[in-house]
Structure 1
Amino acid sequence: MNPQSIQTRSTIATAGLLLVALIVGGVALDLAIRYRIQNQVFFAAEQAAARWSAAARNGAVPRPIPTLTDIPLVQFVDARGRVVNSSLQAAGMPPLSTLRPPADDRLQKRTECSGRGRCVMLMANRVSPAVDSPVVYAGTAQPSLLATHNLEYVISAGGILILVSVAWVTWWAVGRTLRPVERERQFASTTSHELRTPIAGLRARLEEALLYPDDVDPRDTIQGALRATDRLEEIVDDLLLLTRLRGPDAASPELIELGALVTGEVATLGPGVPVRVRAGRDVRVHGSRIQLARLVGNLLSNARRHAVSAVTVSVDSVGGQALVAVTDDGAGVPPEDRERVFERFVRLDEARRRDSGGSGLGLAISRDIARAHKGTLRIEDSPVGARFVLMLPLVGTAGAAGKWTFAPGETAVRARRNIWPARRPPGYECYRVG
Structure 2
Amino acid sequence: MPGHRLRWQPSRWSLQAKVTAVSIVVVAFLLALGVTVFYLAVRHAVYDGLNDRGATAVERLTDDARRVGPRGRAELAPEAPGFYLLQVVDDRGTVLAASPALAGRPAMTTRRPAGEHTRLTQTLAVPGVSSRVYIVSERVRTPDGWRTVHAGSPMADFEDTRGFFLGALGVAVALMVALAGLAVGRSVRRAMRPVCLMSAELAAITEGEPIRRVTVPESGDEVSELAESINQTLGRLERLVERQRGFVADVSHELRSPLTGLRAQLEVALECPEDEDWPTVARAALGEADRLQSIVTDLLIMAKLGAGLRLERQPVDLGELARAEVGRRRRRVPVEVEAAEGVVVDGTRAHLVRVLTNLLDNAERHAASLVRVSVHAEGDTAVLEVADDGSGIPEEDRDRVFWRFHRLDESRQRDSGGTGLGLPISREVAVAHGGTLEVADSERGARLVLRLPLKNQ
Q: 1:235 aligns with which of 292, 295, 298?
A: 295
Aligned CA RMSD, in angstroms, stands at 2.3
Check conservation: 1:280, 1:316, Cα contact below 8 A.
yes
Which residue is 2:278 aligned to?
Answer: 218
Alignment of 1:69-218 (within 5 A): 159=218, 161=220, 167-218=227-278
Check conservation: 2:366, 2:388, Cα contact below 8 A.
yes
Change (3 A) 1:271 1:380: closer
Check conservation: 1:321, 1:391, Cα contact below 8 A.
yes
Q: 1:281 aligns with which of 341, 344, 351?
A: 341
* Structure-1 separation of matches of 2:361 and 2:345: 23
The residue matched to 1:220 in structure 2 has which SS? helix
Which residue is 1:323 aligned to?
Answer: 383
Shift of residue 357 of structure 1? 1.1
Which residue is 1:297 aligned to?
Answer: 357
Residues 325-361 of structure 1 show CA distances to partners (whole Å, capped at 9, x for unaligned) of 1110000000111111111111111111111112111
The residue matched to 1:159 in structure 2 has which SS? coil
More helix by share: 2
* Structure-1 separation of matches of 2:456 and 2:225: 47
| Counterpart residue type for residue 202 of structure 1 | L
* Structure-2 separation of matches of 1:252 and 1:214: 54
Shift of residue 245 of structure 1? 1.9
Alignment of 1:242-253 (within 5 A): 242-253=302-313
Check conservation: 1:244, 1:250, Cα contact below 8 A.
no
Which residue is 2:330 aligned to?
Answer: 270
| Counterpart residue type for residue 218 of structure 2 | G
The residue matched to 2:346 in structure 1 has which SS? strand
- Structure 1 alignment gaps of length 5 or more: 1-20, 22-156, 398-434
| Counterpart residue type for residue 380 of structure 1 | A
* Structure-2 separation of matches of 1:396 and 1:171: 41
- Who wins on radius of gyration, i.e. which is larger? 2
Pairs aligned (count): 242
* Structure-1 separation of matches of 2:271 and 2:299: 34
Check conservation: 2:217, 2:224, Cα contact below 8 A.
no
| Counterpart residue type for residue 445 of structure 2 | G
Q: Alignment identity in percent? A: 48
Residues 49-70 of structure 1 show CA distances to partners (whole Å, capped at 9, x for unaligned) of xxxxxxxxxxxxxxxxxxxxxx
The residue matched to 1:272 in structure 2 has which SS? coil
| Counterpart residue type for residue 255 of structure 2 | L
Shift of residue 211 of structure 1? 2.5
TM-score (norm 2): 0.50
Q: Which has the higher relative contact order, 1 or 2, with Cα contacts under 8 A spaced 6 or more apart? A: 1
* Structure-2 separation of matches of 1:288 and 1:158: 48
* Structure-2 separation of matches of 1:252 and 1:230: 28
Shift of residue 252 of structure 1? 1.2
Shift of residue 186 of structure 1? 2.1
- Structure 2 alignment gaps of length 5 or more: 1-15, 17-215
Change (3 A) 1:212 1:178: same
Check conservation: 2:331, 2:364, Cα contact below 8 A.
no
Shift of residue 164 of structure 1? 6.7
Check conservation: 1:262, 1:296, Cα contact below 8 A.
yes
| Counterpart residue type for residue 175 of structure 1 | G
* Structure-1 separation of matches of 2:225 and 2:314: 46
Shift of residue 215 of structure 1? 4.4
